[in-house]
Structure 1
């Protein structure tokens, strides 16, 4: 053991602080659920009793539409007979500004998603390796190590990786509550800002996700106006992650329920907006279902940020082959119109099917209108209103129900019992199986509760007739306590469903 400890210390001395610190965020239930799935992944024939992945916000509902376009447009690829004549030019292109036709096509897509109510300048499009790369890039441009950004809760767990890990930036939570559907309030913004200031933390800005991950809700005009006035008053930045902007499925038309910060700064009243403070993160991972293409976009109204970001983008460029293909696809107005409408329709149908299935077994979700997931309310199933009880329930869901859902604790939610569950990353048959497993789980809980009540009633009658009395020490549905604290020493944290924790029988 002494030799192992000495070896570990030697390795740490030879590596950087980034390589040896624990700030990546992997010691989280969010990532531990993925690890459990990787060990025992569901497959309809090879492993039908495996864990179904419902912790991955991936859009597989409209892949066939893109496949159909590719079959009809073989010349868009330099790896086909029809398009190989472009091979040399595209294969040798490495300008970190990006292909002009690609930047123009992305700018047009961003405008179309917003109903052409606002336009985007192709010269402000800065490429990055997915939304992860774009998010980190904007942090490098705006903040120094130790500086902080306010982030409304609950928020995407990987923000702790994307925004903090290599940049040294801090994240200060802005607390939201279920009592008002987790809406951002000025009071919460003021409290978070003042608490940071009292701790001698320099706040450089606010980061929001619109639509929200994990809530699946869009940030309304009034809230964005509050945010604009807040950052304008403090002269700090506002970074809007809008990567789910085309996943809006409710409204008339669906996309009209989504209001981009780009629209708000055009019409906000009683506030002279300093546009140098406004920045947008975008990607094609969620809207187009193309996470493997690693197309991330940083769009800024600040010239200095655009220039700096473009220099940094050389560390995470989008492949020129990918740019070439997408430039052709995104410039096809007829296809984009068909895809955006069809994608919204399919998401609406899947969302309704899933939430109706949950409702039939007594589970409700936060009312949502966007995203690839639901914010599921399981507070009624907790033994007590604590995050320890939430962790126990989560492990039961993974190990016994065999579904990987993500607990609210990992999203920095301040109320235990909420879970994010994804519904767009699987086929219809797998979704039906997931709902069947949830139904069986809820029925089993109901039977256990009825058994408990019947036995307590009989026990009470016996004690009453005997003239005695005893206190009820039975646990609700047998859920045990577990600690939500993270470990920094092992591959799996105590959150992990694979750790040695007593589970429900």
Structure 2
């Protein structure tokens, strides 16, 4: 302990403070998975990772394209002739063909209703790097961004840790399906002013993480009006733009400002290929700003988190293949819709609802009725049972700054069909067992609320109930039928 304390004193305050946010249950769930990862063959009772918003459902299409286009890589016999040209120093503006391809792709996933200037595209190390870059450009330490709740826990790290920028929650709730209202915006803005915090911008995610919903035109127009009147920036995270799998269609902020008389210098878009294409490992993040000064500043900062030129070359080639992109976007949407429907309908059969959603790689599961009281403490108690007994890493709403305990984000696109069915079986059996305990509790204790403090059997025992066997054939899909 003395050694750790002495060593810590040698480090900077930024390096050793709690700004990274690792103490959040959002990250604790990942640690639980890392220490006991599920494997259908070698560890069938391990933790299933449902806290990672990753799109693996259409990866076979990507792999096939790579096989069919060996020249796109400098590490193949066909592409090696470009090795020297790509491997040597490149301007940190990015390869022209890369920026052109990214601009065209951004247009395509927005229905070709808007155009993007390749010269306004600035590279970053994923959306994480893009958000931090914008925070550095737009705000000084101690200044703040308004962020509607619930919001992605990583924002506490991405925007705050090294920049010193603050985040002020805009409280949204389930009474109107967590829509952003003018009243909530004004309340958050006034609260910041009362605390002597200067608000520099509003950060929104569209489609929403964790809700899986999209913002409609009216809401987006109101947000532009609000930021225009306050003379603050509007940062729009649109990294899930191509994951919309049902109507209504996605509307980009780029469409709104095209039809609105506003100060475009205040509008900035964050984009990446991590979600839409399933490339988180490529670290392709994008800042697209309508403000010339921001573009120039961000471009200087981008030298700290560039995308490798080898990756740029491969991406440029792939995104220039229009027939492939048409097929990929359509097929990805269909697969996401199928997986989303299978999961949410399977939960509905045991009385578990979720917020109606049509986008993203997750849904917002409602377990409020399983709480013994409407508190964060009760939510965490339930979450620990789900992690330790049910062996699922789903993320509690409190880690997303949700104002209502009992909501959980469930990621559904980062696993194969077999794992998905095991996860669904586990949730369903847990809920069915909880119902049995609720009935027993009412009968013997005359209590109206489910007592989650009752003694639960281990998951292995729950799974061996006659109702559903954990070894039942996956192909028969017993979980999507009423039990």
TM-score (norm 2): 0.92
Deviation at 1:8, TM superposition (A): 4.4
1:90-169 correspondence runs (5 A): 90-169=86-165
Partner of 1:478: 453
1:182-331 correspondence runs (5 A): 182-251=178-247, 257-268=249-260, 272-331=261-320
| Shift in alpha-carbon separation, 1:456–1:479, aligned structure 2, 3 A | closer
Deviation at 1:440, TM superposition (A): 1.1
CA distance in 1: counterparts of 2:451 and 2:176, whole angstroms: 28
CA distance in 1: counterparts of 2:179 and 2:308, whole angstroms: 38
| Shift in alpha-carbon separation, 1:474–1:80, aligned structure 2, 3 A | closer
Deviation at 1:445, TM superposition (A): 1.1
Q: Describe the SS at the equivalent of 1:238.
A: strand
CA distance in 1: counterparts of 2:332 and 2:217, whole angstroms: 24
Partner of 1:486: none
CA distance in 1: counterparts of 2:421 and 2:4, whole angstroms: 47
> Which ranges of structure 1 fall in alignment gaps of 5 or more residues?
458-471, 481-505
Q: Describe the SS at the equivalent of 1:367.
A: coil
| Shift in alpha-carbon separation, 1:436–1:473, aligned structure 2, 3 A | closer
Q: How many residues align?
A: 455
Q: Describe the SS at the equivalent of 1:14.
A: coil
Partner of 1:500: none
CA distance in 2: counterparts of 1:223 and 1:82, whole angstroms: 50
CA distance in 2: counterparts of 1:477 and 1:314, whole angstroms: 51
Q: Describe the SS at the equivalent of 2:61.
A: helix
Partner of 1:393: 382
1:439 paired to 2:428: yes
TM-score (norm 1): 0.88
CA distance in 2: counterparts of 1:238 and 1:353, whole angstroms: 36
| Shift in alpha-carbon separation, 1:114–1:88, aligned structure 2, 3 A | same
Q: Is the 8 A contact 1:383 1:479 kept in 2?
A: no
Can you list the C-alpha shifts for 1:82-137, whole angstroms capped at 9, x where unaligned?
Answer: 11101110111421000000000000000000110001000000000000000000
Q: Describe the SS at the equivalent of 1:215.
A: coil
Deviation at 1:208, TM superposition (A): 0.3
| Shift in alpha-carbon separation, 1:306–1:479, aligned structure 2, 3 A | farther
Q: Describe the SS at the equivalent of 2:147.
A: strand
Equivalent residue for 2:348, pick from 338, 345, 359: 359
Deviation at 1:444, TM superposition (A): 1.1
Q: Is the 8 A contact 1:60 1:426 kept in 2?
A: yes
1:162-181 correspondence runs (5 A): 162-181=158-177
CA distance in 2: counterparts of 1:54 and 1:15, whole angstroms: 35
Partner of 2:41: 45
CA distance in 2: counterparts of 1:105 and 1:449, whole angstroms: 56
Q: Describe the SS at the equivalent of 1:140.
A: helix
CA distance in 1: counterparts of 2:161 and 2:252, whole angstroms: 28
Q: Describe the SS at the equivalent of 1:281.
A: strand
Q: State which structure, 1 or 2, has the greater radius of gyration over its C-alpha atoms.
A: 1
Q: Is the 8 A contact 1:214 1:374 kept in 2?
A: yes
Q: Is the 8 A contact 2:171 2:184 kept in 1?
A: yes
| Shift in alpha-carbon separation, 1:98–1:446, aligned structure 2, 3 A | same
Deviation at 1:428, TM superposition (A): 0.4
| Shift in alpha-carbon separation, 1:420–1:479, aligned structure 2, 3 A | farther
| Shift in alpha-carbon separation, 1:474–1:198, aligned structure 2, 3 A | closer
Deviation at 1:364, TM superposition (A): 0.5
CA distance in 1: counterparts of 2:445 and 2:22, whole angstroms: 43
1:32 paired to 2:28: yes
Q: Is the 8 A contact 1:392 1:479 kept in 2?
A: no
**RMSD of the TM alignment (CA)?**
1.4
Q: Describe the SS at the equivalent of 2:246.
A: coil
CA distance in 2: counterparts of 1:94 and 1:285, whole angstroms: 23
CA distance in 1: counterparts of 2:306 and 2:180, whole angstroms: 34
Q: Describe the SS at the equivalent of 1:230.
A: helix
Q: Is the 8 A contact 2:372 2:449 kept in 1?
A: no
Q: Show structure 1 runs of 4+ deviating over 4 A.
A: 472-475
Equivalent residue for 1:375, pick from 364, 370, 384: 364
| Shift in alpha-carbon separation, 1:28–1:479, aligned structure 2, 3 A | farther
Partner of 1:488: none
Q: Is the 8 A contact 2:382 2:452 kept in 1?
A: no
Can you list the C-alpha shifts for 1:49-96, whole angstroms capped at 9, x where unaligned?
Answer: 000000000000000111111111111111111111011101114210
Partner of 1:384: 373
Can you list the C-alpha shifts for 1:437-462, whole angstroms capped at 9, x where unaligned?
Answer: 111111211221222233247xxxxx
CA distance in 2: counterparts of 1:474 and 1:23, whole angstroms: 37
